[in-house]
Structure 1
Amino acid sequence: MELGQLRVFEAVVAHRTIAEAATALALEPSAVDAQLRSLERSLATTLLHRTPQGLAPTPSGERLLPWSRRLLEQAEQARREVAGSRPRLRLGVLHSIPDADLSAALAQLADYRLELHTSATYDTVLHDVAAGALDAALILDAPGPLGSLGFPLPPAPLAHLDLAELPLAVVAAPTHAPRLLLPTPGSPYRLAADLLPLTLERLPTGPLPTTLACTLQGLGLALLPASTAHPHLATATLTRLPHHPPPLHLRLIRRA
């Protein structure tokens, strides 16, 4: 029973398919399949079976999961003690987090040797944490349980720690069209905008910088991070509208 086999086993349980686990681990699907078969032979038991939802652990696989996590964590602890260096943290970062908020969060992780992996979508970063390809990730979410903003969660249980609040503002140019400008689908600001109780025409605009540019041109109103809107509010090129969306939470997530 090898550590690489256990990593493959955990990835397949998290992703439910050989192909998605191979992508998360940067391996060929044939290599993932071979590692799984070798692990099953070494234990003389079947660890996974097919279900309508994909691959799922058998009773033997369920018993192996907590052992796999403990063995991998102990191996990482041994590596750190032998190397005598700061522990490595493979950290996923949702790239829509404003720079100032990201810098403050990274400063709280100064005890780690950070290896940053940026991602455009929740799906990628959450599944990589669930599969063990990342140790943790920084994301934006609404107050409440993990996933309150509306993004889907992977099957593996995740824990989270709130590091900071990110205030939001509904803004518009002094003269603007009565429509709501919407950033890229699946982004935290699009998910938050979809929760606004506004009965307006909705106009998709793309990435956040494009949404800001369209707002400055008076094409509509938009929900933006307060830190992004502040310079334009200070010069009166944008005005703050009387809506009070709850702040987003900057969260550190990891496997439970």
Structure 2
Amino acid sequence: MSDTTGSGRGAVVVRLLLAGPLGIAAWLLLRWWAYVAHEIRWDCDSGGCGTNDPRALLLIGGIAAGAALVVVLWWIVRVVGFGLAVALCSFAMVRGWRAADGGAAGANADAITLWSSVGLAGICLLALALAFELAATGTVARLCGQLSAPARLSDFEPAKGLRGGGTGLMTFTDRDGQVHSRRLRADPTWFHLPVRAIYPRADPSRSRLAAPWYRPWESATDDSGVTGKAELVQQLERLAALHRAGDLSDAEYERAKAKLLGSAPQT
């Protein structure tokens, strides 16, 4: 777990260091493109439109930088990063068009109105996604006075009715040294990530699972040969069916399940 925590923190730092330059690049390139777009001459015929003006590449570069920003931030803040990129790119172009129009209503008025709306939608998406992440990671609960403790997930069981997921046994030690275990709904890709238990001061038995901020898409499948979450769940469901049918013993079932989840079996 400590190795996972250390590598996760290192990956977060690297991605945040990359996000800054990518965001600045997206802003500058798209703002510059919007400012000079009216000066770019396009030659159009039946085969399409083209230009020899290299400034047309500013748009492509800005979009590429914005897309890279989404990818870099996805493992840390997921949809928050997408909303941020949409808002940043939209308002960058709006600033460029306004500068080109001299601050007054001009030829770019319609584009400014449209992309201002897109930018505001991006801010709304960012706010909603951030609220979800703050709740899912237990940040809100901790700010409201609940306690937090490192936890461990084990014994994943696929569950009918939980699309793409199942339940796991969360085990943690509270501040008084008491060990608690509770079966909760859990994503199968979290089983070797540094999850935490969030619980009220007066009643640790009412604990819930808090997801880590850094959640790679393939976090629990690297060593098992499974290539994605959907396939992982299917494999676990097959194992559970074989176990129920008596084709796998309890020990064989636990070993196979632990291998798929990328963790060592319990002894």
State the TM-score, normalized to the length of structure 1: 0.26
Which one has more relative contact order, counting CA pairs under 8 Å at least 6 apart?
1
Task: Give the greater-gyration-radius structure (CA).
Answer: 2
- Greater helix share, structure number: 2
